[in-house]
A = this chain, B = another copy of it.
Amino acid sequence: MQNLKKIGLKATTPRLKILELFQNSTQRHLSADDVYRSLMIENQDIGLATVYRVLAQFEQAGILSRNYFAGNDAGGVSGGGGGRAVYELADAQHHDHLVCLDCGKVEEFFDADIEAKQHAIAKTKGFALADHALSLYAHCTKKNCPSKHVAA
């Protein structure tokens, strides 16, 4: 609540509820539609457009970070527009993602060597690295993967 004012945003119900959702949800990575639907379930009458606006503001404020998981189909990516964005709380340190191709679960990892190499590569090519996106797409080899429990 005070957080919001600090970044120049009024403490409105939509913003409070969305922030709360990210802090309390068991799912760390949420799409705009996930957020919208969760709010609907809580009987919060918040428009989808507002969700997008708040998400964008939070990202710009550094509260959330946005990712695109392109190769993912397990999560329910079907129709039209390429792939949707998912947001996560930007509380922890920087990390990259490993997405399970079978169940859609997302794991996070950080590797200092890879990070360092990325900077070195950019520098060598005459660039100053500003950002990067690294996603691994993989199949789970453990029996406890959710997809293993479903009769296909």
Q: Interface of A with B (CB < 8 Å)?
A: 68, 70-71, 80-85, 98, 100-101, 107, 109, 111, 113-114, 117-118, 121-122, 125-142
Contacts and interface: CB of A to CB of B under 8 A. Distances in A.
A133 B133 contact: yes
Contacts of A134: 132-135
One complex includes copies of this chain to the number of 2
Nearest to A128: B139
A127 B113 contact: no
Given A113-B113, A130-B101, A122 B135 contact: no
B140 A130 contact: no
Contacts of A138: 122, 127-131
B128 A141 contact: yes
A54 B135 CA distance: 26
A127 B128 CA distance: 33
Given A82-B83, A132-B135, A136-B132, A127 B141 contact: yes
A125 B107 contact: yes
